[in-house]
Structure 1
Amino acid sequence: MNLQTLALAFMAATAVGGIAWVFLYPTMSGETKTEKRRAAFARTAPAVRQVDRAQRSRREQVEGSLREIEQRSKRDSKVTLSNRITQAGLSWSKKKFLIVSGIFAVVCFAVPILSGAGPIAALGLAFAAGFGLPRWLLSFLKKRREKAFLRGLPDAVDVIVRGIKAGLPLFESIKVVAADSSEPLKSEFAAIIETQAIGMPLGEACSRLYERMPLPEANFFGIVISIQQKSGGNLSEALGNLSKVLRDRKKMAEKIQAMSMEAKASAAIIGALPPIVMLLVYLSTPDYIALLWTHPTGRLMLAGSALWMSAGIFVMKKMINFDF
């Protein structure tokens, strides 16, 4: 009888313990919380994958836009004479430029011939005046225009950023820049408005700014607008970062110019010293130095000296001009 009671008690205790193990242990050990967290993660995994897929799609769009812009820049990398005239800020046609260059060449050929100089000197002067001088003038005007553009571009971008934050569309903000800015910003942004008005997308119209103003900063502006038009995003933040980058590049350029001024001054003194010495010697004893242009050997030595001086000045110029 006692054995039966003990057996029943043992079986009852075992049953109660089993029931407690089944129902209470998962709660006490944290398995229930683990299952709930696992189920919650399983429910949110598709959303996370969807977000990753959206980010991947946006990244692919940005990469595609950059690749398209790079291919277009490579395709349009050849600068024609008409483009150089436009970049210099002139409204001349290619025909007018060639006619004016030809007139300069004819005049500079006729003057030495009429004054009794040889035909070789006249041809050299005509070539320099008809081919070299006009293209040097285009390069000079282009660089001066680019410097003026770089001085005003960060302020123009800031105006666009403030307009967008105030609720204006991008196109209206660009109109404000075109109306209130000075040259050449006024004409360049007016060209963007005119290009967009004939049906071209605004992103592509801004990308074409690089064709008229071949500067990295203009390319940056076109890339930012083009990517935002295709992929979306916070345009005011992107343009704000671009403005900061433009100002940092401007500071770097000014710092480089200040650091290289000593080398530029030394190069200018070294390059100007031989002509100055020749002039002083000619003023003091003209017969002594006149052999350089009256004797054949002197002419040869003078031509060789001019060649080597030009090579030295060119090398020094390359050493002190930094590109970044």
Structure 2
Amino acid sequence: MSPTIARLVVLILLFVAVFLLAELAISAVRRRSSETRAINKRLRMIEGGMGRELVSSKLRKSQPFEFASGNGFIGKALANIQQSVIASGVAMPAHQIMLAMALGSALVTVIVIIGAAIAGYAINFGSVQLALVVGLAIGLGIPLVILSRIASKRRQKMQEQFPVALDIFIRGLRSGHPVSSALDLLTKEMEDPLGSEFGLVLDEVAYGADVRDALQSMADRWGLEDIQMFVVSLSVQNETGGNLAEILTNLSSVIRERTSMYMKVRALSSEGRMTALVLTALPLLTISGLFLLNPSFYLDVAQDPIFVPGFLGLVVLYFIGFFTIRRMIDLKV
């Protein structure tokens, strides 16, 4: 065999060996990924050796729901932020996240003021106003936009999972399981976020809470009407009696029809919602990015006396536009 042919054979064998090894590695990764997706976070933590009390504590980092009954604009804003923190699945208490955003905004504001003073700009009301707006945009506005986006995706996944979970729950009841055992099926069969949420419900029941109260707490955390209707159905059946499986079957049909209508509305309003997202986030990203790249672009004009009322007017117009857009895309189905 000539050296050329031998070299060619060796190269072909090397290629086949590398190809087979790559296929084996990809198959192992996909298999491991599918096994990981088959269980939820709560079950993975329990499988890792954690006790139920510790698991429940880690999953309930954003509790208690302190601002749920807040009155006024500030109270409602705090309640919305905390509900977004819970829905986003961030493993930090909501008050710590809000404190971190407040400290971050203050830190950015102080850094901007010190930097402007070092660069030789006069520290007047306009520059302080500019520093405050930049600090709030970087430390508060951008994190809230990201947090809201993550929470919205998890809520959407929760809505997609709930009809399937309801069918599993109904099958469990018809096969003779009590309500608590049927809920336990959901913790083993459903992925996150629904699987871990029902796991928290079972943990609360194990520690002495009533099933309806635990489910009501879950409904309050997520603010989804489908879960609220499920809790109301359980409460009504518990007080008046009747076939719970039949009641929940009818509820499942209603939820699926609402989901179908909701998806149609989302499809029709997708352009408006994306426009709202861009118009909400773009001013924050623009002022933050442009200031970081070229601070003098704003600091030069901040020395002008007309900057203070003009910039304040822009901020007011931004918030007017923000709330107007939110009202326009807040579609109820």
Provide TM-score, normalisation by structure 2: 0.58
Q: What does the per-residue CA deviation read over 1:18-66, in whole Å, with 9 as the maximum and x for residues that have no partner?
A: xxxxxxxxxxxxxxxxxxxxxxxxxxxxxxxxxxxxxxxxxxxxxxxxx
Change (3 A) 1:181 1:323: same
* Whole-Å separation in 2 of the counterparts to 1:155 and 1:242: 12
Counterpart of 1:283 in structure 2 is none
214-223 vs 204-213, greater mean Cα deviation: 204-213
Change (3 A) 1:173 1:323: same
Q: Between Structure 1 and Structure 2, how many residues are aligned?
A: 236
Is contact 1:157-1:243 (8 Å) kept? yes
What pairs with 1:249-268 in structure 2 (closer than 5 Å)?
A: 249-261=258-270, 263=272
Is contact 1:210-1:219 (8 Å) kept? yes
Letter in 2 for 1:163: G
* Whole-Å separation in 1 of the counterparts to 2:325 and 2:164: 35
What pairs with 1:161-200 in structure 2 (closer than 5 Å)?
A: 161-200=170-209
Counterpart of 2:22 in structure 1 is none
Q: Secondary structure at the match of 2:331?
A: coil
Change (3 A) 1:238 1:138: same
Change (3 A) 1:167 1:145: same
Is contact 1:264-1:320 (8 Å) kept? yes
Counterpart of 1:127 in structure 2 is 136
Is contact 1:104-1:130 (8 Å) kept? yes
Is contact 1:210-1:218 (8 Å) kept? yes
Counterpart of 1:148 in structure 2 is 157
Change (3 A) 1:195 1:301: closer
Counterpart of 1:100 in structure 2 is 100
Q: Secondary structure at the match of 1:200?
A: coil
* Whole-Å separation in 2 of the counterparts to 1:311 and 1:161: 47
* Whole-Å separation in 2 of the counterparts to 1:94 and 1:259: 34
Is contact 1:101-1:129 (8 Å) kept? no
Change (3 A) 1:267 1:134: closer
Shift of residue 102, structure 1, vs aligned partner: 4.0
Cα RMSD (Å): 3.9
Shift of residue 219, structure 1, vs aligned partner: 0.6
Change (3 A) 1:183 1:270: closer
Letter in 1 for 2:93: S
* Whole-Å separation in 2 of the counterparts to 1:306 and 1:259: 31
1:225 aligns with 2:234: yes
Letter in 2 for 1:112: V
- Identify unmatched segments of 5+ residues in structure 1: 1-74, 275-290
Shift of residue 91, structure 1, vs aligned partner: 2.9
Looking at secondary structure, tell me which structure has more helix per residue. Answer: 1
Letter in 2 for 1:323: K
Counterpart of 1:111 in structure 2 is 111
* Whole-Å separation in 2 of the counterparts to 1:198 and 1:269: 45
Aligned equivalent of 1:216, options 208, 222, 225: 225
* Whole-Å separation in 2 of the counterparts to 1:240 and 1:138: 35
Is contact 1:292-1:302 (8 Å) kept? no
Provide TM-score, normalisation by structure 1: 0.59
Change (3 A) 1:108 1:154: same
* Whole-Å separation in 1 of the counterparts to 2:254 and 2:225: 11
Change (3 A) 1:244 1:102: same
* Whole-Å separation in 2 of the counterparts to 1:133 and 1:298: 24
* Whole-Å separation in 1 of the counterparts to 2:282 and 2:104: 31
* Whole-Å separation in 2 of the counterparts to 1:272 and 1:139: 11
Is contact 1:203-1:229 (8 Å) kept? no
Aligned equivalent of 1:247, options 256, 277, 299: 256
Give the share of equivalent positions with the same residue, in percent.
26
Shift of residue 184, structure 1, vs aligned partner: 0.9
Q: Secondary structure at the match of 1:167?
A: coil
